[in-house]
Amino acid sequence: MTSPTEDRLFVAVPLAESAKLLVGGWRQELESSGLRFQKWLHSADYHITLKFIGNTPASTLPELAPLLAGAASSHPPLRLSAAGTGTFGPKDAPSILWAGVQGDLDALQALQRDVEAACASLGFEPEDRPYRPHITLARRYSGGLPWTRELLPAPGDLPSVTWETDKIAVYRTHMGRSPMYERAADFALRG
């Protein structure tokens, strides 16, 4: 829980409205197929995380903004696609159901490294896991059917959507709301 003097922040690539609509359609299909997750994300909350910062003093965003602006401005716009689905977590009870990301992945990885470095310069610990870009659709499988990969559509069974993004954003989390993420600041990709 954040206090009035704290923000829960993360840095991400926003999705175009066309991508949110298509991925939202996937989510509805998956949910109506009987998949039961404790939390399905609102389509307005779809994004590709670059760096989770977490609970931090409200003064962090003004300190971080020029660093993120500098990191973003050294990268060109990205052409990305949402394609396919998968999971993270235990094989019999996934913690995350996600939509895959394709396209300018090398450029996205470079951008993520620069965002990570900008955050590290303010003392935020770098992530110790490899970066795996994705769009979270749902959290915490809650049963019903025993989980197997066959519950998800086969690769290529879902339509894909491609979009170009020319910015990254800092999001503020409002726990208990839906949608729960508020875009607090945008930084242009210019490369």
Token pair in block for residue 184: 């607090």
What percentage of the chain's residues is helix, strand, coil (to nearest 5)? 25, 40, 35
Single-letter residue type at 146: P
Catalytic annotation on 75?
no
10: closest CA among 55, 41, 44, 42? 55
- Distance between CA atoms of 74 and 155, rounded to whole angstroms? 34
Catalytic annotation on 134?
yes
Q: 49, 12 in Cβ contact below 8 A?
A: yes
- Distance between CA atoms of 181 and 148, rounded to whole angstroms? 30
* Active-site annotation holder among 42, 75, 134, 174: 134
The catalytic residues are 47, 134
